[in-house]
Amino acid sequence: MSPVVRDAEPRDVAAIVAIYNDVIDTSDAIWLDEHVTHADRLAWYDEQVTAGFPVLVADDGTGAVAGYGSFGPFRAKAGYWPTVEHTIHVHRDHRGRGVGQALLDALVDRAVQDGRRVLVAGVDAGNHGSLRFHERNGFREVARMPGIGRKFDRPVDLVLLQRDLPAPPADDLATGGTE
């Protein structure tokens, strides 16, 4: 069964925390060593929603959260408005089952509808699976930043990838979409 992507609700934050903390423990995808708390992720969720950014979850068909994704500002200055940076994390038991793809597709749709022009991904250089995933989805590497972070007491490299997005459909512009 294909995952169903929907807007996250506050009740989903516990599952988001569990996925996030597992990724902290088991990969270089999140450059933190300490777990985040429910309060931290709830504050993040509230900030995202208040700012008008999506927080999406993929439901595995049983009501369980199989993964989540979001996007937010790429940089703080207004001139970067057309560009957003996304994040997607999938529960370890659901990887390789189309959850990440479903979330990315939904995020791209939201970004296009919001009038965004560029979607950026920041990926740990050692995460070859994520790099391939993004390249299959039209992202291209635009920067490699060696040793700019630390994880598991060693330096880690960041790869920035970007995907140019199409303009929103013309009828969206006629009804008040951003252009």
* Among the listed residues 58, 40, 134, 145, the one whose alpha carbon sits nearest the alpha carbon of residue 94: 58
pLDDT of residue 29: 93
CB-side neighbour CA atoms (13 Å) of 158: 12
pLDDT of residue 169: 73
pLDDT of residue 141: 98
How far is CA 10 from each of CA 13, 15, 37, 55, 60, rounded to the nearest angstrom?
5, 10, 14, 10, 18
* Among the listed residues 54, 75, 62, the one whose alpha carbon sits nearest the alpha carbon of residue 7: 54
Q: What is the pLDDT along the chain (179 residues), one digit of tens a residue?
A: 689 999 999 999 999 999 999 999 999 999 999 999 999 999 999 999 999 999 999 998 888 999 999 999 999 899 999 999 999 999 999 999 999 999 999 999 999 999 999 999 999 999 999 999 999 999 999 999 999 999 999 999 999 999 999 987 775 554 454 44
pLDDT of residue 179: 42
> Beta-carbon neighbour count of residue 59 at 10 Å?
18
| H-helix or E-strand spanning residue 113 | helix 99-113
pLDDT of residue 61: 84
Give strand ranges (E) for 9-117. 55-59, 65-73, 83-90
